[in-house]
């Protein structure tokens, strides 16, 4: 079929415009604000802010706010915490999602279907409520410690720790990843699996050589969405985590609301944005690969 790039562009124009105006433009002004531009659309926020670094003309830039934030040991510490929580959460979530998907694909039993359905339930529970529930579950007087005490043992108090943040993040992120990976693995034709089994392939070999290559795109999508959602999390670390170290989402809110330093809050947001953009590139790559495989590009 002959390609008509102009028609395609016109059809894509409305969503592109909406994204440009409502997403791209605010990001642009925010980045300009972080570089010291306090005029124009940034006048209002600049008027109530404290300790701003400003420039006099549009061609000048100042990295003062960035220097402020980087000089603050707390932000670096919280950046490391955020990256660590994101990595652990993503790996565990993708691992669990794959375990459920394989169980469902290879056993297909009623128990497997029930398990896959249960794994999706957290999607229907608001994050605030889930955070409180998880906090009380692991608190000093929570279920885990009470059970251990009844059995004569002593369980650690996980409430208000980074471990608790990670558990809660895994809990909230698992449903989406499970849906993605399960559908990807379910889509692998049974004939391929049986052919491999007939040729004498072991179970690990079938997973590695048949299922994994055919489900790699949904897996990458699940991983990138989990990672980006964890990176920008606020509610979970705010409620379940310790005062320090915490995650950058909490720091951003504190800089903006509690310290009245919006410029520095924007700087942290830019840092998170850059990391998320890196992860987003993976997602785009996976999509392109899928499109190419389908012969659309």
Q: Which residues bind another protein (CB under 8 A)?
A: 43-45, 47-48, 50, 72-74, 77, 140-141, 157, 159-160, 238-239, 242-245, 254, 256-262
CB atoms within 10 A of CB 119: 21
Closer CB to another protein, residue 183 or residue 260? Answer: 260
Q: How far is residue 67 from each of residues 21, 53, 113, 132, 248, measured CA to CA in Å?
A: 30, 10, 53, 36, 17
Min separation Cβ 73 and another protein, Å:
8
Min separation Cβ 150 and another protein, Å:
18
Element (H, E) at 102: helix 73-106
Secondary structure E strands in 127-272: none
Closer CB to another protein, residue 207 or residue 261? Answer: 261
Q: Residue 215 corresponds to which tokens in the numbers above?
A: 């489900």
Which residues, 6+ apart, have CB-to-CB distance to 158 below 8 Å?
138, 144, 164, 167
Closer CB to another protein, residue 105 or residue 145? Answer: 145
Closer CB to another protein, residue 36 or residue 262? Answer: 262
b/e per residue 231-255 (b: at least 16 CB within 10 A): bbbebbbbbbbeeebbbbbbbbebb
Closer CB to another protein, residue 44 or residue 190? Answer: 44
Which residues, 6+ apart, have CB-to-CB distance to 256 below 8 Å?
262, 265
Query: With contact defined as beta carbons under 8 Å apart, do 267 and 69 qualify?
Result: yes
Closer CB to another protein, residue 43 or residue 190? Answer: 43
Q: Residue 212 corresponds to which tokens in the numbers above?
A: 């994994």
């Amino acid at each position: 079929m002959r390609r008509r790039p102009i028609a395609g562009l016109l059809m894509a124009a409305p969503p592109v415009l909406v994204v440009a105006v409502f997403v791209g433009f605010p990001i642009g002004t925010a980045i300009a604000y972080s570089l010291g531009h306090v005029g124009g659309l940034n006048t209002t926020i600049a008027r109530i802010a404290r300790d701003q670094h400003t420039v006099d003309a549009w061609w000048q830039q100042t990295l003062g706010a960035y220097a402020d934030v980087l000089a603050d040991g707390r932000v670096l510490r919280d950046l490391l915490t955020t990256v660590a929580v994101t990595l652990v959460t993503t790996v565990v979530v993708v691992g669990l999602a794959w375990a459920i998907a394989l169980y469902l694909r290879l056993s297909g039993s009623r128990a497997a279907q029930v398990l896959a359905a249960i794994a999706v339930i957290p999607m229907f529970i608001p994050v605030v409520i889930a955070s409180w529930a998880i906090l009380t579950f692991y608190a000093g007087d929570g279920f885990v410690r009470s059970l251990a005490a009844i059995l004569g043992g002593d369980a650690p108090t996980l409430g208000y720790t980074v471990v608790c943040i990670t558990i809660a993040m895994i809990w909230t992120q698992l449903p989406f990843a499970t849906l993605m990976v399960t559908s990807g693995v379910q889509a692998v034709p049974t004939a391929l699996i049986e052919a491999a089994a007939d040729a004498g392939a072991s179970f690990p070999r079938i997973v590695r050589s048949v299922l994994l290559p055919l489900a790699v795109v949904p897996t990458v999508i699940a991983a990138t969405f989990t990672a980006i959602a964890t990176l920008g999390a606020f509610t979970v670390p705010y409620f379940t985590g310790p005062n320090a170290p915490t995650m950058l989402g909490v720091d951003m809110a504190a800089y903006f609301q509690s310290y009245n330093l919006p410029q520095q809050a924007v700087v942290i947001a830019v840092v998170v944005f850059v990391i998320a953009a890196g992860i987003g590139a993976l997602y785009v790559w996976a999509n392109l690969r899928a499109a190419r495989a389908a012969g659309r590009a």
